[in-house]
Amino acid sequence: MGDIAREEPIAPGSTPGPGLRMLPVGSLTPHPNQPRRRFDEAALEELANSIGSRGLIQPIVVRPHGKGFQIVAGERRWRAAQRARLHEVPVIIRDFDDAETLEVALVENIQRQDLNAIEEAEAYARLISDFGHTQDALARIVNKSRSHVANLMRLLDLPASVQSRVVEGAITMGHARALIGAANVEALAGEIVSKGLSVRETERLARTAKPATGRTVHKGADGQDHDVAALESQLADLLGLGVRVTFGAKGGSVTLTYSTLDQLDMICQRLSGEPL
């Protein structure tokens, strides 16, 4: 699924190009399951000023809904257009069903980097659970690495209060990643905020804390633990080999898959500590 609209400046009062229509701002309504929950006021005001002087850079994608139209992609642009006091906005009308509408909204927000880390992680989780995408497929769709997708989804293991701090911008994704698997995560998150700790300081603090006695296991549509998938992806990127990690109550195994003798030599050299 690629970009759903080309970026072409459309000035206020101009005639839209082929495939575009001008609709009254009031005829559009936001989607109730919009993946983006928080709109930065300063950024929204800046976009409104830009739209007021230059028009919309990209049309809003909508679908027929009731007596008007429902926004599929572009709610932020619609909100900014209202602030800019535009009477009409350029739109592309698509006949998406409910499932297609949600899928396009999720992917478009990820591609445009409109989501914070938690919202992006939730979007990946929903695309996997509701639409059967794998992490590999998602990585290709949104043009990101599989390790990026897997690592973000691990943030959903954190308590809701800590996730809220990420959404609010009180702590960064780097801080949140350092807290995964640590004990007293909520207390550590509070310490990060109160002391203004850096990510490096947070990593050291999390290492000294007693590890959590248990963890929530999040699985994708293929039944694979997200944490294990992230570890496999990181090892595969590091070694350039196929990696399979299994674990159980009494231990587990790491399997490396090679296809050439040179790769086998590399594995032996790394394990023995000899120079490559």
Domain range for residue 134?
116-221
Domain's final residue, options 82, 114, 146 = 114
- Cβ neighbours, 10 Å, residue 12: 18
Structure tokens at 3: 């970009």
Return d(Cα 164, Cα 194) in angstroms, integer: 16
pLDDT digits (tens, 9 = 90+) for 56-98: 878 999 999 989 999 998 998 999 999 999 999 999 999 998 8
Taking residues 94-109, what's their average pLDDT? 85
Residue 39 sits in the same domain as residue 126: no
Residue 30 sits in the same domain as residue 16: yes
Catalytically annotated residue among 46, 75, 186, 191: 75
CATH number at residue 158: 1.10.10.2830
The H or E element that residue 244 is part of is strand 242-248
Return d(Cα 49, Cα 53) in angstroms, integer: 6
Return d(Cα 222, Cα 129) in angstroms, integer: 10
Percent of the chain with pLDDT over 90: 31
CB 70 within 8 A of CB 29: yes
Residue 87 sits in the same domain as residue 127: no
Residue 139 sits in the same domain as residue 98: no
Residue whose C-alpha is closest to residue 138's, from 154, 125, 156, 157 = 125
Domain's final residue, options 186, 204, 221 = 221
pLDDT at 259 over 60: yes
SS3 167: helix
Domain's final residue, options 94, 114, 134 = 114
Q: Which residues pair with 64 in a beta bridge?
A: 69
Residue 136 sits in the same domain as residue 195: yes
Structure tokens at 205: 């603090």
Q: Is 168 a catalytic residue?
A: no
Return d(Cα 7, Cα 57) in angstroms, integer: 6
Residue 217 sits in the same domain as residue 247: no
Residue 100 sits in the same domain as residue 55: yes
CATH number at residue 59: 3.90.1530.30
Residue 18 sits in the same domain as residue 105: yes
What's the DSSP call for residue 27?
Answer: G
Whole-structure pTM value:
0.60
Residues in CB range of 91: below 8 A, 6 or more apart: 20, 21, 22, 23, 28, 59, 60, 61, 62, 69
| Number of compact structural domains in the chain | 3
SS3 144: coil
